Structure 1
């Protein structure tokens, strides 16, 4: 991450072309820049820290339309040479072996692969699992110090979603214990000349070996669980080996990291609005609607993954060349005052609340019901069992992750009166 000065948040000076999306001030609070971009138009050329240029969609209506635009495909094969030169930097052979997952596929291949996942994350199954998820959440709180301080990322926001994921997909305890969270950083690739490239490639190889061990274990000890069913689909030739490995990769990394990050953004929003936090502690029945507003107010998925036109196309009045990447800013869409009255206000009673935190259209997150349950259980558990929960650092000292597409924090130091 660079430490460049942020763009001015106010004023009538024209936006640069491209608009740089980098720097610690931007990651800490991107919303003033997104407001300027929305006011100037729905589509802007942007520059990421890696040097990748993309077209960013910022308003709610434009974002909703782009997420449902069947002209925009997700397969990386659509990317042109300009995009591929800087964005497709996960090295071979891992790029070919781990990037064939749902986020990078289009129908009908996407439809076929997605059908293997839906039952595992169906709302009815999530409802049946809620008592077990509550047990896992309580166990994480039991492991926290009796009195603060504590780091809620290391102490709760990391272990709880991973334990939930392991339960849902059938990752056995002995393999779950071996998972290294550092492997999750493979979704933050660095270029070949970056000093951290060797460490990045080491993470990739370690994760790939782990995935091979998971597949081998499930082939030898099949159970009635999602991982076993995916391995069986591979053995029936319904999935290629690359598709299987990529789907396991997606489950292990994308399946829990966003929930970890959303826990941190939700808690920070409540810490900044202590009256809302007190209200939720006093009225747990308000949690379902509050979670929807917290998902809107500061989404862990700040930006979507790449989409591409297969021919030069018009996107809300802007000509986008074939193979250039198009990205939707969910956070910018969620603060659009044309769709959400008082969009910059945290309103836990907001209704309706048609946020796009889980996407929309064919790529709507298949695990949305599970993520909602995790967030409701998290907030209900932490607020009831940690009286006086409050931040232990100044707001400006919170360290936001440098991920390009996501929002969250590395650490969240808190204190509380006692653990009950």
Structure 2
């Protein structure tokens, strides 16, 4: 179905604010009201950026495949740039030309350089190694609770797996600072946290330069070596190479860390489902699909832009305004999913949009699915009696605009097997 309608009208309503602790804790009641009111809404983010949010499943599916909507930031208008482009130069031009911000033919050229590393067949071969890494992390947890499953597991497992998949040497992997991942949560020039933000940016850029130099001197049959070789063949610019490594290091692991936490929170809130999954791990593939539909770590997509004033489901969108799709809102649409607010491991089919749709469908989806299956299976089988160690309202959700998750997840368990 097409997102076009015969006529479009301007939306003159005040933008809906997407911010604050109650919203981050549980955005779904707001998304329900928005879906019932229509598929497109003007919204306001904490940075002051106003955008157009797509909510319903059909509208989201169509928008994600709409070739009128481009991802390149050069399409953004002056209003958007005044608030959104707050990553300082030169870092913005050096780190923001990765796949998420490219359109064909550049996107096509760059994406083909990474897809072979994430094929389902290759990921299947890596499952035994992933289980070893998960077990080693659990071995280091206390003999019994309490423990923080972010600090003790979720913050490390995805990066350890990613390092092996892309060919990041162990010595350099050990030096990666997870705080560098917070550069995807930019703060404005007047924000008191700006100096720390810029320090993280510089630290990450220096790290990427070291990785490139190492892989150029020590070529191997891995993704990072392949990207450096593509740069040396002039198939990538230096900014494209740095940006793609930036995307791999940050977007390649932080969303999986967050998804492990959202899945665990959902299971801890549904102890009967937790017990069922612990007792029958053949359910894991289907359970993971339902858990990422139920509460996706990628709450919202990144920006998209029309290059001319356009009609989106009957709403007039000015050229260069940002359009964002709410994956979480789409995945709870009752017109597509029966009882969408119910966690149902028997749901089939389950055509959720947690990994996106269209040409920007997540290239690491097979890896993320395997990581989640192994992470949840390992934790449930080796930590009997797994239960929350704090009240639900004490869980602090990360303030990231596009993502859901928590930096701390205290749990209790009877023993570590």
Moved over 3 A (4+): none
Q: Please tell me whether residue 171 in structure 1 is matched to residue 150 in structure 2.
A: no
Q: Which residue of structure 2 aligns with residue 221 of structure 1? A: 218
**Could you report, residue by residue, the CA deviation over 1:341-393 in whole angstroms, capped at 9, with x for unpaired residues?**
10111101100100000000000000000000000001110000000011100
Selected match of 1:289 from 276, 286, 289: 286
Q: Which residue of structure 1 aligns with residue 396 of structure 2? A: 399
Selected match of 1:380 from 370, 377, 385: 377
Deviation, structure 1 residue 16: 5.9
Distance 1:35 1:23 in 2: 18
Deviation, structure 1 residue 410: 1.1
Distance 2:26 2:310 in 1: 32
Distance 1:104 1:131 in 2: 34
Q: Please tell me whether residue 136 in structure 1 is matched to residue 129 in structure 2.
A: no
Q: Which residue of structure 2 aligns with residue 303 of structure 1? A: 300
Q: Secondary structure at the match of 1:326?
A: strand
Selected match of 2:97 from 97, 100, 117: 100
Distance 2:266 2:48 in 1: 31
Q: Which residue of structure 2 aligns with residue 61 of structure 1? A: 58
Q: Please tell me whether residue 329 in structure 1 is matched to residue 321 in structure 2.
A: no
**Could you report, residue by residue, the CA deviation over 1:176-213 in whole angstroms, capped at 9, with x for unpaired residues?**
01100010000000000101001100000000000000
Q: Which residue of structure 2 aligns with residue 268 of structure 1? A: 265
Distance 1:115 1:158 in 2: 29
Q: Which residue of structure 2 aligns with residue 239 of structure 1? A: 236
Selected match of 1:340 from 337, 347, 353: 337
Distance 2:250 2:100 in 1: 12
Stretches of structure 1 lacking an aligned partner (at least 5 in a row): 1-14
Distance 2:137 2:46 in 1: 36
**Could you report, residue by residue, the CA deviation over 1:305-325 in whole angstroms, capped at 9, with x for unpaired residues?**
000000000000000000000
Distance 2:249 2:407 in 1: 18
Q: Which residue of structure 2 aligns with residue 10 of structure 1? A: none
Selected match of 1:25 from 12, 22, 29: 22
**Could you report, residue by residue, the CA deviation over 1:91-125 in whole angstroms, capped at 9, with x for unpaired residues?**
00000000000000001100110000011000000
Distance 2:178 2:377 in 1: 25
Q: Which residue of structure 2 aligns with residue 196 of structure 1? A: 193
Distance 1:294 1:378 in 2: 13
Distance 1:287 1:133 in 2: 15
Distance 1:151 1:16 in 2: 43
TM-score by length of 2: 0.97
Q: Which residue of structure 2 aligns with residue 314 of structure 1? A: 311
Selected match of 2:356 from 355, 359, 369: 359
Q: Please tell me whether residue 278 in structure 1 is matched to residue 272 in structure 2.
A: no
Stretches of structure 2 lacking an aligned partner (at least 5 in a row): 1-11
- The structure with higher relative contact order (CA 8 Å, sep 6+) is 2
Distance 1:136 1:410 in 2: 20
Q: Please tell me whether residue 253 in structure 1 is matched to residue 260 in structure 2.
A: no
Deviation, structure 1 residue 145: 0.7
Q: Which residue of structure 2 aligns with residue 43 of structure 1? A: 40
Q: Secondary structure at the match of 1:190?
A: coil
Q: Please tell me whether residue 416 in structure 1 is matched to residue 407 in structure 2.
A: no
Distance 1:154 1:236 in 2: 41
Q: Secondary structure at the match of 1:69?
A: coil
TM-score by length of 1: 0.96
**Could you report, residue by residue, the CA deviation over 1:54-113 in whole angstroms, capped at 9, with x for unpaired residues?**
000000000000000000000000000000000011000000000000000001100110
Distance 2:80 2:119 in 1: 36
Deviation, structure 1 residue 17: 1.6
Distance 1:271 1:150 in 2: 14
Distance 1:141 1:111 in 2: 40
Distance 1:88 1:80 in 2: 11
Q: Secondary structure at the match of 2:305?
A: strand
Aligned residues: 406
Q: Which residue of structure 1 aligns with residue 5 of structure 2? A: none
Q: Secondary structure at the match of 1:314?
A: strand
Q: Secondary structure at the match of 2:175?
A: coil
Q: Secondary structure at the match of 2:235?
A: coil
Distance 2:22 2:292 in 1: 21
